[in-house]
């Protein structure tokens, strides 16, 4: 059985980070380090036997073949500086860039949740169980979600009908989606909730009449009502079990199926956003201008032959997909989740290596977690890792909405790209520039293309230029060697 | 202070103490939120298991064979308590 093509192969990964990073340290079973070209996972002695059993199981082979689980191989002692003799380490391919749940669209959350449930269901049938079920164990390889934690598997008690990760799945997958649907809590806010939301948090925020909503009744209302002090649970630590293994499996599979329905409901269709229909409604663009712009981008792609492209302000991804069609691995950023969701769906349907991240380049995702070292900031993950950066009609946003000087924008671009920058300059005469100008003509109304190129001159030289019929200018910059 | 008054004060104090014990609520910070979801899971399991046993019983009334096969259990979703909007 061949799964969807993944983009975790080493040759398709972004250039490695220079430093070796220790990323996980909470799991008593092991730790994870990012090294050049691979991820290394140390398995502690207490978990070694279980891990070896899983690695030899048919389940692991099935999951790796379908692309649902990251591939693993036992690292040779001495193959990396951090491996001492007698230690048990696994080596995984790197998936770049790392994306965090607070940078996913709703549809990506759903895909990650469904992957987790699918793996959990297969594990149950194979006599295993998934003991962790959190979106932090999922990465996106291009548009495909993939489970990256091989330490999440343990052998299942065939008589037990309890899924130990149920509570974690509800807290970290289902409740954030329900909170987004019923309370408009943005999924980006999960940055501050490593272990998701507690049922009580949602319960107290809901209007009283909504607490009886059948879709919220069990995981929010009843879960809050049944809450008891921790000591009472400690006294009765024994988990319920049934003597009939067939019944236990039936109960577990029913639970997985119900969670699947709850996720589908919680991550149901959302409406359009301001930007998700931008291209259809962009009255300042005539068909000829669009055609000319696309030709310029295509010819730039042919000239630059980029392997790694960053598309800032990707919107629904017209130009990200052009870059992917030209053979590049693309990272597409946009702060508009609905627009980016369209891009992610298209990339998934067409199996294109595009990683979609909901992020605002003017306020990039910060580092998070313990000592700010558990989760890397957006710029730490992106800096210096692209051959070509696309900034099409973005600079006027940075100037007018974020009051960023052109020299600072140039510095940012120079830190992101190793070579090329393709930029669309929107002049003050443009209706979109005027819309954001809001009477600040004295401050920004005088800006010209010359001001732009002068600000970028310390880092870049213009190597190609085209002016569209609507007055906008496309500029291809080449990085001046330092 | 008379003995009657002392008795009255003691009675009120005892009643208040009793009320505090009877209506004791755990401090939220020390409540274990996992217990709620564990209870929901247990209740859901009980409903599914009830459906499983009932189906076996009903099936055995009409057929002389032991029990329905696993596939037929998966298909008869509508008859299952797990599918109602509840634990």
Which tokens belong to A446?
Answer: 């005088």
Separation CA A161–CA A246 (nearest Å): 10
A246 lies within 8 A of chain B by CB: yes
How many beta-carbon pairs under 8 angstroms link A with B? 105
Q: B26, B29, B33: which to substitute to probe chain A, counting the most A Cβ within 10 Å? A: B33
B40 with A230: Cβ contact below 8 A: no
Residue of B nearest to A170 (CA): B37
**pLDDT tens column, A277-299:** 666 666 667 888 899 999 999 99
Residue A186 has pLDDT above 60, yes or no: yes
Residue B70: its chain A contacts at CB < 8 A? 246, 250
**Closest Cα partner for A192 from A30, A362, A23, A374?**
A374
Over residues A360-372, the mean pLDDT reads 93
Tell whether A245 is within 8 A of chain B (Cβ).
no
- CB of A46 within 8 Å of a chain B CB? The answer is no
How close B79 comes to chain A (CA, Å)? Answer: 12
Query: What's the residue count for chain B?
Result: 87
How high is the pLDDT of residue A1? Answer: 39
A377-413 confidence digits (pLDDT tens): 999 999 999 999 999 999 999 999 999 999 999 999 9
Question: How many residues are listed for chain A in this entry?
Answer: 482
| A160: contact with B, CB 8 A cutoff | no
Closest CB to B37 among A199, A215, A242: A199
- Taking only the tens place, the pLDDT of each residue in B26-47 is 444 455 557 889 888 888 988 9
Cα torsion A166, A7, A24, A234 to 10°: value is 10
Backbone angles phi, psi at A72, to 5 degrees: -135, 145
Cβ pair B38:A233 closer than 8 A: yes
Q: Cβ separation of B38 and A167 shorter than 8 Å? A: yes
pLDDT given for residue A481 in this prediction? 87
Verify whether the Cβ–Cβ distance B35 to A233 is below 8 Å: yes
Question: Cis (ω within 30 of 0) for the bond into A97?
Answer: yes
Residue in B33, B48, B74 nearest the CB of A251: B48
Q: What torsion, rounded to 10 degrees, do the Cα atoms A308, A312, A317, A323 define?
A: -30
Model confidence at A453: pLDDT above 70: yes
What gap in Å lies between CA B85 and CA B42, rounded to an integer? 15
Query: What's the rounded Cα separation, in Å, for the pair A364 and B49?
Result: 49
Chain B residues with CB under 8 Å of A226 CB are 35-36, 39-40
d(CA A349, CA A418) in angstroms, rounded, equals 30
* CATH class of the A10-228+239-266 domain in this structure: mainly alpha
- Section A71-87 average pLDDT: 84
Q: Tokens 């079990």 map to which residue? A: A241
Lowest-confidence region among A172-186, A218-232, A452-466: A218-232
Interface of B with A in 11-50 (CB under 8 A): 26, 28, 30-45, 48-49
Across the interface, which of B26, B45, B86 has its CB nearest the CB of A218?
B86
Contact A215 B30 (CB under 8 A): no
Domain ranges for chain A, please list them.
10-228+239-266, 278-479
Per-residue pLDDT at B66: 53
Mean pLDDT of A190-200: 94
Confidence of residue A352 (pLDDT cuts 50, 70, 90): very high
What residues does each domain of chain B span?
A: 3-27+35-83
| pLDDT beneath 70, residues of chain B | 1-33, 64-87
- Residue numbers in B near A212 (CB within 8 A): none
A255 neighbourhood in chain B, CB within 8 Å: 41, 44-45, 48, 82
Cα A199 to Cα A174: distance, rounded to the nearest angstrom = 10
Contact A190, A106 (CB under 8 A): no
pLDDT of residue A275: 58
Average pLDDT, chain A: 89
**Which CATH superfamily includes the segment(s) A278-479?**
Vaccinia Virus protein VP39 (3.40.50.150)
Q: What is the 3-state secondary structure (H, E, C) of A285-336?
A: CCHHHHHHHHHHHHHHHHHHCCCEEEEECCCCCHHHHHHHHCCCEEEEEECC
């Amino acid at each position: 059985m061949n799964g969807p093509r993944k983009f975790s192969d080493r040759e398709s990964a972004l250039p490695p980070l220079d430093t070796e990073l220790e990323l996980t340290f909470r799991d008593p079973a092991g730790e994870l380090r990012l090294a050049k070209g691979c991820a290394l996972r140390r398995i502690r002695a207490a978990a070694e036997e279980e891990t070896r059993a899983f690695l030899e199981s048919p389940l692991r082979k099935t999951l790796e073949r379908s692309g649902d689980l990251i591939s693993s191989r036992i690292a040779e002692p001495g193959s990396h500086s951090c491996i001492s003799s007698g230690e048990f380490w696994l080596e995984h391919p790197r998936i770049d860039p790392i994306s965090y749940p607070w940078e996913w669209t709703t549809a990506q959350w759903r895909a990650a949740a469904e992957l987790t449930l699918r793996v959990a269901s297969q594990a149950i049938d194979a006599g295993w169980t998934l003991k962790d079920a959190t979106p932090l164990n999922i990465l996106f390889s291009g548009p495909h979600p993939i489970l990256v934690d091989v330490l999440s598997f343990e052998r299942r008690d065939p008589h037990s009908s309890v899924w130990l990760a149920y509570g974690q799945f509800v807290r970290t997958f289902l409740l954030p989606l329900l909170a987004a649907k019923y309370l408009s809590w943005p999924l980006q806010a999960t940055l501050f909730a490593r272990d998701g939301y507690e049922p009580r948090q949602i319960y107290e925020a809901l209007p009283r009449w909504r607490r009886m909503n059948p879709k919220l009744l069990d995981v929010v209302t009843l879960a809050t009502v049944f809450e008891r002090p921790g000591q009472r649970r400690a006294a009765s630590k024994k988990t319920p079990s049934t003597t009939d293994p067939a019944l236990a499996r039936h109960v577990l599979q029913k639970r997985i199926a119900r969670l699947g329905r709850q996720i589908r409901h919680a991550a149901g269709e959302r409406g359009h956003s301001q930007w998700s229909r931008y291209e259809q409604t962009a009255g300042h663009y005539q068909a000829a201008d669009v055609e000319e712009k696309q030709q310029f981008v295509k010819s730039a792609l042919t000239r630059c032959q980029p392997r790694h492209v960053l598309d800032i302000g990707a919107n629904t991804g017209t130009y990200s997909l052009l870059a992917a069609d030209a053979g590049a691995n693309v990272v597409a950023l946009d702060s508009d989740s609905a627009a980016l969701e369209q891009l992610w769906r298209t990339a998934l349907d067409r199996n294109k290596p595009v990683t979609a991240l909901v992020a605002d380049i003017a306020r990039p995702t910060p580092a998070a977690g313990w000592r700010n070292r558990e989760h890397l900031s957006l710029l730490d993950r992106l800096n210096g890792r692209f051959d070509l950066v696309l900034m099409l009609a973005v600079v006027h946003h940075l100037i007018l909405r974020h009051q960023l000087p052109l020299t600072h924008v140039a510095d940012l671009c120079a830190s992101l790209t190793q070579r090329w920058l393709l930029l669309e300059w929107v002049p003050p005469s443009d209706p979109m520039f005027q819309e954001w100008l809001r009477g600040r003509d004295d401050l920004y109304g005088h800006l010209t293309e010359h001001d732009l190129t002068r600000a970028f001159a310390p880092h870049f030289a213009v190597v190609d230029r085209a002016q569209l019929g609507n007055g906008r200018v496309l500029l291809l910059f080449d990085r001046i060697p330092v | 202070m008379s003995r009657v008054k002392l008795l009255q004060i003691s009675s009120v104090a005892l009643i208040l103490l009793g009320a505090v014990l009877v209506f004791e609520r755990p401090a939220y910070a020390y409540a274990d939120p996992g217990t709620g979801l564990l209870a929901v899971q247990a209740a859901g399991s009980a409903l599914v298991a009830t459906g499983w046993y009932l189906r076996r019983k009903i099936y055995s009334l009409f057929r002389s064979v032991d029990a329905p096969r696993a596939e037929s259990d998966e298909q008869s979703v509508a008859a299952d308590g797990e599918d109602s909007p509840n634990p």
